[in-house]
Amino acid sequence: MQYSEIMVRYGELSTKGKNRQSFISRLNGNVAKALHEFPNLTIRPKRDRMHIELNGEDSDAVMHRLSQVFGIQNFSPSVAVPKDMDLVHEKALELMNATVPEGSSYKVNTRRSDHSFELDTNQMNLDMGDFLSDARPDLVVQMRQPDFILRVEVRREAIYLSTTTVQGAGGLPVGTAGKAVLMLSGGIDSPVAGYYALKRGVEIEMVHFFSPPYTSDSALAKAKDLTAKLAPYVGSIKFIQVPFTETQEEVKAKVPEGYLMTVQRRMMLRLATAIAENRGALAIFNGEAVGQVASQTLESMVAINDVTTMPIVRPVATMDKNEIIKVAEDIDTYDLSIMPFEDCCTIFAPPAPKTKPNLDKTRYYETKIDVEGLMNRALEGIKVTEIKSSDHFLSQDRDLIAELL
């Protein structure tokens, strides 16, 4: 079927009162970015719908991209027909033949914004029903939960027909909820946390700690590839890599083993806070889940959270590991996350970290290291890159490596 436009229904933003205009214009910008590969499209954001005129672009390819844009409830590929009922009948039949299998149930649902049109909504529903009962006698009219709804929209410029509604990504347009940093490791949980941040409209920048030569180039490349997996939801994402070797060495040398991990995490969180402040971000997101590992008990959170007053949002805090894995598979980060390139925490992980670190002891042991000096040098060594969905960082042998494992 040759569609002429995709009609987009907004998500939650319809309930946002006077913010509506800024939501719509942000969504408009995000949709334009997500669809930049299709130069012939015309995007028309209106108060209650957005219309994407295809002008010959491939509707399936456009809809695939559109399904990753947050702030969209659902959308329908539609055919525009001049306001002549003979033509409307002809196109409706063509559309029904292409999309509605024999014997299906259906109903007609008309919406009219052009009130000067000769038929009102009731008359239009009846007229189309009459026509189709002759043209497609195999179909059954059913008002409650039909298999298909033929949607007819009478607008000023044309009549629009559609039979298909595709579920959108939901959530809020990215950027409408401000900016945060995401602490991104190479693991399973933090990319999922990033997905949820984006879904709630939060623009994120990735903060990744790496410790060469203890961590390999591949570990860094993997974190960048994970970033590329989330980029389609926004267009591109800034990746901030923070050198963490000196800090880890000093902590390892000076802090008792049971408190190594707690102090390392405090340093990470301090650095993340400083980076967020410098870049105008309002909160820190991470992939912690309550009770999952030693650093994620509530006692550990108390001892680590102590270094910042910035809000820390933990989108996967209450999820089971297998629930997180399910989402990771859906967003296609799982296969990358399980590739075995050690990140900086695993390498300096003590065999028996304290699961219930004491806050006063933590503060005391930390006086043994030069917090400020280490932070300043780490911040000086930061490198920022902008990552797009088409970028790849792990070598092309990735599939081969995966096979060997």
Residues that bind Mg ion (CB under 5 A): 185, 187
Q: What is the DSSP string of 121-145?
A: HHHHHHHHHHHHHHH-TT-EE-SSS
> Minimum Å distance from CB 242 to ligand ATP?
8
Long-range CB pairs of 116-119 (<8 Å, 24+ gap) are: 117/83, 117/154, 119/85, 119/154
User: What gap in Å lies between CA 295 and CA 297, rounded to an integer?
Assistant: 6
Whether residue 110 contacts residue 124, with contact meaning beta carbons closer than 8 Å, is answered with yes
Which x/- pattern over 273-292 shows residues binding ligand ATP (rule: CB under 6 A)? Answer: -------------xxx---x
Q: Is 220 annotated as a binding residue?
A: no
3-state secondary structure of 266: helix
> Minimum Å distance from CB 241 to Mg ion?
16
Buried b (16+ CB within 10 A) or exposed e, 211-222: beebbeebbbbb
The residue among 121 and 297 lying less far from Mg ion, judged by its C-beta, is 297
> Minimum Å distance from CB 349 to ligand ATP?
9
Q: Which residues on adjacent β-strands are paired with residue 108?
A: 150
Give CA separation, 301 vs 213, 359, 363, in Å.
29, 10, 14
Whether residue 304 contacts residue 261, with contact meaning beta carbons closer than 8 Å, is answered with no
Q: Is 208 annotated as a binding residue?
A: yes
Work out which of 189, 205, 225, 250 binds ligand ATP, going by CB under 6 A: 189
Which of Mg ion, ligand ATP, none does 184 bind, CB closer than 5 to 8 A by kind?
Answer: ligand ATP
The residue among 139 and 180 lying less far from ligand ATP, judged by its C-beta, is 180
Whether residue 100 contacts residue 106, with contact meaning beta carbons closer than 8 Å, is answered with yes
- Write the CB contacts of 363 (distance below 8 Å, at least 6 apart in sequence): 306
Which of ligand ATP, Mg ion, none does 51 bind, CB closer than 5 to 8 A by kind?
Answer: none
Which x/- pattern over 83-112 shows residues binding ligand ATP (rule: CB under 6 A)? Answer: ------------------------------
> Minimum Å distance from CB 183 to ligand ATP?
3
> Minimum Å distance from CB 263 to ligand ATP?
14
Which x/- pattern over 314-353 shows residues binding ligand ATP (rule: CB under 6 A)? Answer: -----------------------------xxx--------
Interface with ligand ATP, residue 225, by CB under 6 A: no
**Residue (of 153, 7, 9) closest to 76 by Cα position:** 7
Interface with ligand ATP, residue 222, by CB under 6 A: no
Query: At 404, which amino acid appears?
Result: L
**Residue (of 142, 135, 134, 133) closest to 106 by Cα position:** 142
> Minimum Å distance from CB 261 to ligand ATP?
8
Residues forming contacts to ligand ATP in the complex (CB under 6 A) are 183-185, 187-190, 207-209, 286-288, 292-293, 295, 343-345
Residues annotated in the binding site for ATP, as ranges?
183-184, 208-209, 265, 287, 296
Residues annotated in the binding site, as ranges?
183-184, 208-209, 265, 287, 296
